[in-house]
């Protein structure tokens, strides 16, 4: 979780903010993440630590999906499902354009490497 702007560059983390605002054991309606490719490093840790236990909905922008990291993204989605989430929405982020197809890969379809995904808990009681 980044808090700040280019002038201050003050950054913090979700665990710090949850503790700071006494939200450790409270229900959180929605968490939105857009951390420019850092989600691959952050989300597995958050899932392992149970930071989504009290979150009802989670929105994330996935960045730079490619053959090299598709397994890491699959592991994150699987982890979210294990934490009780189901896919709610999925849409490409057109700001990134589409992947470039190499001449030798003409038969491969184009896809968007960035996309917005929203998950919701199946059991909304938390």
Sketch the domain layout of the chain as residue ranges.
14-121
Buried b / exposed e over 8-27, threshold 16 CB at 10 Å, is eeeeeebeeebeeeeeeeee
Report, as an integer, the average pLDDT of 44-60: 91
State the pLDDT at residue 105: 62
pLDDT value at 5 more than 50: no
pTM above 0.85, yes or no: no
CATH class given for the domain over 14-121: alpha beta
């Amino acid at each position: 979780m980044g808090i700040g702007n280019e002038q201050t560059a003050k950054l913090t983390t979700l665990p710090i903010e949850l503790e700071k605002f006494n939200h450790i054991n409270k229900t959180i309606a929605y968490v939105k993440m857009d951390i420019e490719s850092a989600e691959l490093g952050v989300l597995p840790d958050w899932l392992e630590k149970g930071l989504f236990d009290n979150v009802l909905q989670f929105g994330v922008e996935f960045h730079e999906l490619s053959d090299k990291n598709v397994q890491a993204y699959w592991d994150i989605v699987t982890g979210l499902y294990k934490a009780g989430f189901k896919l709610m929405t999925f849409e490409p982020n057109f700001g990134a354009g589409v992947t470039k197809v190499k001449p030798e890969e003409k038969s491969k379809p184009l896809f968007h490497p960035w996309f917005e995904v929203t998950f919701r808990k199946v059991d909304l009681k938390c």
